Structure 1
Amino acid sequence: MTELVLVNFREAKAEDLFPFIVECTGKAVLPRLAQVRAQTISVISDKPVTRLKALELIFQAFRLNDIGVVETDELIMVDMLTNVGRLQPAMVLGPSVDVLQFEENGQVVIKIFLVRNTRAQSIFDRLSPSLPDYAKIDVDANSNQIILEGDVGLAKRCQEIINVLDVPPFADTRTETFRLRNADATVIADSITAIFSGSSGGSSTPRAPSRQNPRQGQNPNQPPASGGGADAPTLVVTVLAATNSVTVRSDNDTIARIGELITTSWDIPPTKNGAIFKSYDLAYTDPIKVRDLLKDLLESGSGGNAQGGRGGGATRLAGGGGGDSGADVAVANIFRIEAYPDSNRLLVVTKTPDNFVWLDELIAKIDTPLTVGMPMNVQLKYASAVAVAEIVNALLAESGSGSGILAPEEGLGGIDFAAAGGGTISADSGSTSGATDSSSGGSGATIEFPWQNARGGEGEATEVSAIVGKSRVVPNAGQNSLLVLATPEIQEAVITLISQLDQPERQVMISAILAEVELGDQFAMGIQFGPTGLAPSNPNNAVVIGTSADPLNFTGAKDNIFPSVLNVSNFSFGVDATVILQALQRDTSVRILQQPRIFTTDNKEAVFFAGQDVPFLTGTTTGGSTGGGTTSSFDQIAVGIGLNVRPRITKEKNVAMEIEVLLSNVNTATTLNVGDSNNPTIDRRQTNTQVTVKNNQTIVISGVRVESETNEKNGFPILGNIPILDLFFSNKNETAATKELLIFITPSVVDNPDENDTNFNADDRERLEVISTPLNAKGKSLVQQHQLNLPEKTGDAPVDPLAPIDPSIAP
């Protein structure tokens, strides 16, 4: 090994150096070629060295290139540095082995260091950040030793650092026990640690003090906890509850200050001015709830550390400061409170009666009558309580809860003639309805909103308003009011929202005129013969030869009744006849069928129907083998004129209307056999339209028309078919008639319902007065005619029912 060799090579493969290692050490080499084959090393030197030194240089080069070497008595194992911990066995060097005496540095070993004067943890904290990645270090607090796994060179560096840091403590410490007579040892111990844990021993970094149980023994190999470096804790506080004493270990100056505080401020008897206990009789609140509330407010840390007292009713507000800086530190740990639900009373014990001054004020504010959280009854003037409650609850419900609102009606429900019939046979009937909530007119669906879907998970958006999910609104339909339950800070906002929804709905007065216009054209010309004569269909437009008293009658033979060109034959009639020459032309006539006027609210359907109920046979049932009679079943079908309008008021105060007109009549010419009876058919004509008009503008709907044309010729056999002669022996009757239904619809917007009586109902009131005048006169004449003695009326005369009552003087 003393032979000199020259070690000088560049980028040599690691596997090429294994024979030299075997030659120098005489040990077997076990490399992990798959890991180290690709590694190359370089050693540059111009001076020969011994084989032992050359081997050390190669091991150092291995370590620089992340190759580790583990050497035992018989073999050498080579692997990457990150894997050397799995190579076993490795050389273990105990606390007594001084690695500074080793000549080689590249070999990987396990070195154990014993720390004698300070804490091993403190030195471990300083060594860990400076170690390379391939090294491993751990600490054994029980034996106060440090375990290092790495190369010998790293172990030498750690040994030198430990030798420097493992020295006796700088501060001189001592131990002293304080036995307390009045104060609680636990409270005093917490105060000591809170005040002195960060300042004793000259330490500038506060550290958690050591709270030891004196009944537990210590490991004899563990050094005192107060030694070591600058940041080693120099304060140890223990409590012996059996003797109510506190044992403190620290430097002389800290011990002296603690003793002064205990003697002059902490361990003093209670004051003689006033009692240290007091009872509170609660009038409005539950004592258990008040006790729990005081516990949360006055307990140190507000973390629920209070311990339940005897019988489950006592709470001891005890805890430690522990360096707490919360608002409850000043009032913590000074009360013990016990609640008595049977007598609704609190019993409080404190060490200083002066504490009751502010506790009395606190309990007085807690024990007050409940004035918030009660529901408020909000009366509605215009809107429906059920509808407003539905809207508010849907709007203010929390995400994922609540239900939608009923969708508004859309379109027209149509005129249900089967439902319009009253179920009884009626010769003639009429009905008018406004603001109809027909089930077929609306969608009947519910509007669902996106926030009602239960969506959870991360990223969920917060509520967009502070009042969402914090109120309840229940309708009181009997009084048309809402019961609002909300927290005080949002109750006013909810009531303001309800008042904004409680506004009068705008109304629309639908005035309609249903008129039938008949356009007729009739022409009749010729000679009609008959035994007594024929009366003209329209005497005003007929020319009659002769008079009705002395018509131009002739019997037997009569000459010269025709022009000379035809005077070649004689005609003999055995009967009397009246010769009528008629030319008829009818003028146009207009007939008003209905003139309804309906009030309806915005976007509410208004329906008018006038007609009659017609019974239709639907079936017959016989008794069969039981010998019973025949039972017939009928349905009442309404036949007549129907008008269906849904108005919508636009922003410009125009009116958009959906209009449906339906006419039906019985057609007896076409029948349907049902059993032994023939049912007539129903002819119906229907018109649907959508239109937008201005306020008080009239729209005309036409086109519902029926046209008929009749051509009739009557004449004398044979002669009536001969040209020229047919002028004297025949009669032609041509009739053309057209009936058309015209509907005039005028919408009028009513913004204020109070205007209905004085403005929009004025015409109806005048008409009622005209009708009532003859009825009143006729009634008086009947009284005089029959000489009826009616009792005289006393008191004030009643208000004229036709005159509107001024709302300002109404009771």
Structure 2
Amino acid sequence: MRKTQSQTVICTAIALALLQSPSGFAQMGGLPGAGVGTNGAPATGQTQQDTGFVSKKTGKNLADSPIEDITNENFPDVIESFDYPNAEIADVIKAISDLTGKNFVVDPNVRGKITIIAPTRITVAEAYKAFLSALAINNLAIVPADGFYKIKQARSAQRDNIETYSGAYYPDSDQMITRIFKLKYVSAEEINKQVRMLTSTQGEIYAYGPTNSLIISDYGANIDRVAKILDQLDTQGFEERMEVIRIRYARAKDIQDLLTKIIDKDNLGSSSRSVPRFRRSTQASSGTSSSGSEVYSVVVADERTNSIIVVGNRNGISKIKQLISRLDFRLRADENGGVFVYYVKHSEAEQIANTLNGIASESKKSQEQSTKSGAPPLSLSARDGEIAPANTAIFGGEVKVIADKITNSLVITAGKTDYDKVKTILSKIDIPRDQVFLKAIIMEMNTNVTSQWGVDYYKFDKDSNGIGRVGFRSGSLNNLINPTEDTGGVFGFGLGSVFDITIPGMGGTSGSGTFKVADLTGMIRILKENGGGNVLSTPQITVLDNEEAMIEVGEKVPVSLSSTNAQNGSTQNSVKTENVTTKLTITPFTSPDSDRVQLKVDQEVAGLSNTSVKATELAKIAIATTTRKIKTSIVVDSGDTAVLGGLMKDEDSENIRKIPILGDIPILGWLFKSKTTDKKKTNLVVFITPKILRNATDNAEIVDRKINERIDFVQKFMNGRDPHGSEVDALPRRVRDSAPSDEMEEPAIETF
């Protein structure tokens, strides 16, 4: 509610009367610490007829003037002092209200003390601005409200009816205001990131993209500082525009990918925008700011028109054009990429294709990870714009490899540079592989222990030195009961003539031996015989490095199967076959710079067992088999022999010979029969000899050696008659250097 003119006159008269008293205006609780005029006289420009301080320029009272009009020029009236040391906020508000004639509404949360020290003469405008500064220090602000001014917390005042300015003029005091800056050349969003830190703790700043404007709510003095900075940043040359750049020789999508890698690594992989936006600052050689920085957005590659659409400022688009001119040029005929065919020489095309596609896949992943993680991208030097690789990807573009099995070739789709890299890789992996000649001996080392006992009857003829097994002289039972009779048929040691008999091979140097024996002698035989080794197989094979070789020799054994009918209980037999074989599987691994061979060996020997099946019914249809297996990995020098063994097997067998009927008599039947028990312990041993064949000469040496071994075998065991001699002679071989030596190792079994 405004004061009337009569009320103002009365108040002014009272004030002038009180000023003549020693206590002054402060005694009435009006304006403590403030004096008007000199020697008690009214301040300049103020009379008893004034309704307050009135601007001669605008004609408005101070109470009705907005903050931008409260200046020294409009209100030059002077007061003697404006001192409020550690004063209550409410007291200072009351004093400034009395001085300016403004009405205030104070928020209940506004409390505390403020300090204003101004002992010298100041104008009324300066006093009001000092009051605003004191409020700002205490995070308070003034908000106009229909003839009143609300004093409240500054944070909440931003969302209240504070004054908003968008033109060139705005107050630079500590009044809380909102200022709108319309930028012409730079991006409001980019500037917002840089000047946000310049606002006060109570201020806020927003960027509005459609009009490229900044909206700042803060104290006027702080906004004035930001405005001066914006004047320096918002300069010509940074305004954004759109341009379409036609790509003539390259693919627009490839150019876009390169630009994404080259420009501003800090913005790569950002998910905040669908279109990446880049900013690049340049510095002059002296270290001062140059003509400006480049701001550009690579929007999209239009594949239909093979063009790049770029949005940026003038400097940014100019730099993009410069870079594209270095990338978009016609390649020579021999540099163009496309489809290439490579004929594989020493390997399988399908295996090499898998390897190359794996490398291409990892290269693509490396490119994607480099882009997403913000790793150092391709850089553009300020001097000449040269591109320097900064990622670990092997290929620069997409590489596809397809294998053609029929021609054993590779169909490669790639750029020329990438194809050159592919050929470099192929020169390292498509090379002749070593071969390994493997010779193995699979044998059983056994110990035979044969135990024989029983009664045999022999008749020796003293005239002809003949010997023969005979029966009894008489069919009388007495011959069996009384074996000491001369006709006894058991031992016959007591009677009978004795004569000399010569047995060949039982003597000393003469080669024969003479023994005295009776004409009928019963012999109890207990003999033991020892056996030796049994070579099962001697396989020989040549195999490529890192390839599996297998040799299997054996037979199929019929085995009877039985099944029972659930309805009538009848049993039906069927036959199936089982493999009883000797199988050797070897995989060699060699190294180009070593003569050592790593072997993965899998040896299996299966056979029929002498062990009888215990169950009577099962024995009629079942056959027992044995299996012995070795599986290991070893390392052997080329030409050396490795021995694998230790698989032991025990076999027991019995053989009974008897005289029919008599041999079946309980207890006494043992006088008419003999039993042989064989106990055999077998150890499976495998000898393996690898020989690395690195070239054709090594292979020819093996062929010559095998042919020479065959010739020696034919000469020694076939009297030089070779039924296949013509075929062997037709084989290509080198000239034999010398005749075979007698000390040459004789093969146990040769297979051709």
Q: Which has the higher contact order (CA 8 A, sep 6+)?
A: 1
TM-score (norm 1): 0.47
